[in-house]
Amino acid sequence: MLNFDNRFLRDLPGDTDRHNAPRQVFGACWSPVDPTPVAAPTLLAHSREVAAALGLDEQAMAAPEMLAALAGNALLPGMAAYASCYGGHQFGQWAGQLGDGRAILLGEAVNRQGQRLELQLKGAGPTPYSRRADGRAVLRSSIREFLCSEAMHHLGVPTTRALSLVATGETVVRDMFYDGHPVAEPGAVVCRVAPSFTRFGHFELLAARGERELLQRLVDFTIARDFAELVTGAEPSLAAWFGEVCERTARLMVHWMRVGFVHGVMNTDNMSILGLTIDYGPYGWVDNFDPGWTPNTTDASSRRYCFARQPAIARWNLERLADALAMLTPRPVELAAGIERYDEVYSSEFCAAFAGKLGLCEWHHDDADLLEELFELMRQAEIDMTEFFRCLASLDIDNPAIDVVQSAFYRDDLRLRFSAPVSRWLTRYAARVRQDAQPAARRAARMNAANPRYVLRNYLAQQAIDRAEQGDTQRIHDLLDVLRHPYVEQAGCAAFSAKRPDWARHRAGCSTLSCSS
């Protein structure tokens, strides 16, 4: 059974008002709030790896008390339910208090290895931070969050995890296109799991309100609980800790860029202090390589959060965090070193990641040029990012022929038009690879370990959603299985690596999504 030790509640002040109504909450980091029970919960899927990390076997997952807890209908012994208070910059503007409007924390489970894992229900009903919304989530976005957080983990990308996906048996009304056509959709609750759900916005809100003392407490708490490895004797300086946050964020951005993930809503309230991918909403995966692509319809005109801008936005978000922390130090300039560390780590990790994707033993200065040229070709020729990098491993470097990457093109006309420049690039690339004098099999193995065969393409998630909405969850399980080993070619799984089909190019859910979830 789960063993809880709820430090966030114990060490940080909570809201004294127990009334579950929207309000501004001052002088507190959390508000007590119980999940709102649902009519007829069913466990649609769970992650056996996350269950195992929590020490839960299949029998424990199948217990009725577990289902009740994962649906928000009851608490298990040791659980305590609360919503946390944070603010954030949304689309570049300070938005004031936001908070867990549809997330309810259930406490911190400590597993047998002593690892602390927070459990959080998403979609379990309103909290004091729900503002005018209902605190609920629809099945489609819950499936997307459940599958993608597990897929990201198996890709090696830092992320919050998902323990379970529960259908509520109730409907939730959403106006998916914001066009005045609300529809009753099936509802669901996901149980998310992470060492910490603390966001940049937790610190920003306290700073914006001038709650200096509480801000210092939250920083001390975060360092002690979530960055214990930094505490060697004395507590690290504020700047040292901020530098660590910057480094983790830089590494995360490199991961997103290397796998072609676009978060879609990189507001500061959606930035994890641990450098995890958090809050899967209108995210998407790059199909044809398009640096300007965003899956988020709300962002379609300004493209603030498009694929290529993610590293710059993360940096901007870190600057907002630095602004918030500045009131805690007489020498705020020291925080600038963290931003520099972000730049350095991003560059070096990016080079290392793309050296891996290209199968190079090490990154040479001129390789940046080679990669830039490739990106430009991929963009113009509308080449599928995942397919191209995966196929590149099969290139015969003594006889580089375009055939191996034929399947990465979406359009025949562009394939013909760009066949000469792509061939020239392959020749140049082959010459570069030959410099490394690396056995071909070694290069291919390294590339296959860096270039996933399977990612949660937008249309694949949508197919699983379409079927689940008809009551058939098989696709969710199939995807979970395949995405468990994204770098390994799996027999009979061609359908899960296929490029986006034509029908999916403009279909909602397959190419673009709204925040309405």
| Rounded distance between C-alpha atoms, residue 146 and residue 192, angstroms | 8
Give residue number: closest CB to ligand AMP. 101
The dihedral built from the CA positions of residue 188, 191, 194 and 199, taken in this order, carries a sign that is positive
Asked whether residue 122 is marked as a ligand-binding residue, the answer is: yes
* Of residues 47 and 130, the one with the C-beta less far from ligand AMP: 130
Rounded CA Rg of the chain: 23
Dihedral-angle region of residue 233 (phi above 0 means left; psi in -120 to 50 means alpha; beta otherwise)? left
Q: Which does 203 bind (CB under 5 to 8 A by kind): Mg ion, ligand AMP, none?
A: none
Task: State residue 262 phi and psi, 5-degree precision.
Answer: -120, 115
Asked whether residue 369 is marked as a ligand-binding residue, the answer is: no
| Contact status, residue 135 vs residue 127, Cβ threshold 8 Å | yes
Task: State residue 95 phi and psi, 5-degree precision.
Answer: -110, 0
Q: Which does 288 bind (CB under 5 to 8 A by kind): Mg ion, ligand AMP, none?
A: none
343 is catalytic: no
User: Among 309, 302, 306, which residue's Cα sits nearest to residue 286?
Assistant: 306
Q: How far is the CB of 435 from Mg ion (least distance, A)?
A: 46
Tell me the two tokens of residue 206: 């306290």
Binding site for ligand AMP (CB under 6 A): 98-102, 129-130, 133-136, 265, 269-270, 279, 281, 515
Instruction: Fill in the DSSP letter of residue 483.
Output: T
| Rounded distance between C-alpha atoms, residue 449 and residue 227, angstroms | 29
H helix intervals, 359-473: 367-380, 385-392, 412-417, 419-435, 440-450, 458-469
Q: How far is the CB of 517 from ligand AMP (least distance, A)?
A: 7
* Of residues 284 and 359, the one with the C-beta less far from ligand AMP: 284
Q: How far is the CB of 285 from ligand AMP (least distance, A)?
A: 19
Asked whether residue 101 is marked as a ligand-binding residue, the answer is: yes
Of 269, 287, 299, 384, which residue is the catalytic one? Answer: 269
Q: How far is the CB of 419 from ligand AMP (least distance, A)?
A: 43
Max distance between CA atoms of the chain, in angstroms, equals 72
Q: Which does 281 bind (CB under 5 to 8 A by kind): Mg ion, ligand AMP, none?
A: ligand AMP
Q: What is the DSSP string of 212-278?
A: HHHHHHHHHHHHHHH-GGG-BSBPPPHHHHHHHHHHHHHHHHHHHHHHTEE-S---GGG-BTT--B-
Q: How far is the CB of 88 from Mg ion (least distance, A)?
A: 8
Asked whether residue 102 is marked as a ligand-binding residue, the answer is: yes
Of 264-272, 314-322, 324-332, 478-486, the segment contacting Mg ion by CB under 5 A is: 264-272
Residues of span 265-294 touching Mg ion by CB under 5 A: 270, 279
Asked whether residue 502 is marked as a ligand-binding residue, the answer is: no
N-terminal to C-terminal alpha carbon distance within the chain: 32
* Of residues 135 and 400, the one with the C-beta less far from ligand AMP: 135
Asked whether residue 475 is marked as a ligand-binding residue, the answer is: no
Q: Which does 304 bind (CB under 5 to 8 A by kind): Mg ion, ligand AMP, none?
A: none
Asked whether residue 413 is marked as a ligand-binding residue, the answer is: no
Q: How far is the CB of 234 from Mg ion (least distance, A)?
A: 34
Positions at the binding site for Mg(2+): 270, 279
- Catalytic residue numbers read 269
The binding site for Mg ion (CB under 5 A) comprises 270, 279
Positions at the binding site for ATP: 99, 101-102, 122, 134-135, 192, 199, 279
Positions at the binding site: 99, 101-102, 122, 134-135, 192, 199, 270, 279
